[in-house]
Amino acid sequence: MKNPRVGIIGYFGHGNAGDEAMKDILLQEFPNSVANNRDKIEKCDAYIIAGGDLIQGFSGLHLPKIWDSITDEPCYAISLGVKSGWEKYEAKVTGWLKKFRKVYTREQESYNILNKFIKVDGVMPDLVLLADAPKDSQNYPIIFNYTDRPWVNPDGQFEDIKKNIDSLEVGLAEDFDSKYAKKIVDYKTFLSMAKSSKGVIGARLHAVVMGVIAGVPVAGIAYEKKVKKFCDRYEIPCFEYGKKNGKLIVESLRLPKIDLNLEREKIKAVLTEIKNDLYEKN
């Protein structure tokens, strides 16, 4: 294909910081691409499914219309995550994924699960690690990103952390963080603020990722397993949600053990592999 129309598919248009970052990154990486969300899948020459917990127990797949829209077009999946509960859709999911030319997961556990059924091409770092934004002109205290999901704050953890820290509460998505955030921002604004801050405490995965990109001290609160997995990968302090351990969290903030340039090169290598397959072999 000389100039294929590439459909970038994900949970776009719903204010989720990580998904919006993935969309922007891939639209820039692939010329003549168009973003598709779960509600409308445009007919394209090829498709790239961009990250997230797309395989889980709610419907077998977070974006079922994606899979039903694809016929014989070249398809690729990157930074894919698997959550418990997907097993009842195992045959259908793996049947779809067997048609894909490339499948990359975002961490080893998802790789191990899927590789029992299909050929998985490898594990890649979180695609959002390619995101960037200029440093803000203003200086900020610790940026504290929490979430108002009811199971995340069962024992006053939010209030306990606030008592132990000079912080600015910032939410990455209105549908998650409005109760516990003084300011709701998009991912580019969050990243700019993080670069100009003393550090980041995040309960959302991509709040922690933005802290890593910003190069400031970081700590995570694992309201979901994916936060813990990411923190373990880069030796970031990570704490259980719902425990009154604010002082310990604040004191634990430290720089992550990551070579960001190397991780970005790994991501670029996967994108180059897809480009070579898409543009040269067709």
Q: What is the pLDDT of residues 96-151, one digit of tens each?
A: 888 889 999 988 988 998 899 889 999 999 999 999 999 999 999 999 999 877 77
Sheet containing strand 200-202, edge to edge, reads 183-184, 167-171, 142-145, 200-202, 218-222, 238-240
Give the per-residue pLDDT at 56. Answer: 65
Please calculate the CA angle 253-256-259 and round it to the nearest 5 degrees: 160
Q: 39: pLDDT confidence band, cut at 50, 70 and 90?
A: low
Task: Tell me the average pLDDT of the chain.
Answer: 87
Class of the domain covering 130-252: alpha beta
Decide if pLDDT at 52 tops 50.
yes
The answer to whether the CB of 236 falls within 8 A of the CB of 256 is yes
What's residue 282's pLDDT? Answer: 47
* pTM, to two decimals: 0.91
* C-alpha closest to that of 22 among 183, 147, 187: 187
Q: Write down the domain spans for the chain.
A: 6-124, 130-252
Compute φ and ψ for 85, nearest 5 degrees. Answer: 105, -10
Closest CA to 18 of 228, 257, 209, 238: 209
Q: Is the pLDDT of residue 58 over 60?
A: no
% of the chain beyond a pLDDT of 90: 57
**Of 29-43, 157-171, 266-280, minimum mean pLDDT range:** 29-43
- Percent of all residues in the chain with a pLDDT value above 70, rounded to a whole number: 90
pLDDT over threshold 60, residue 62: no
- Over range 237-259, report the average pLDDT: 94
Residue pLDDT, tens place only, 188-243: 999 999 999 999 999 999 999 999 999 999 999 998 888 999 999 999 999 998 88
**Rounded Cα–Cα distance for residues 32 and 24 (Å):** 13
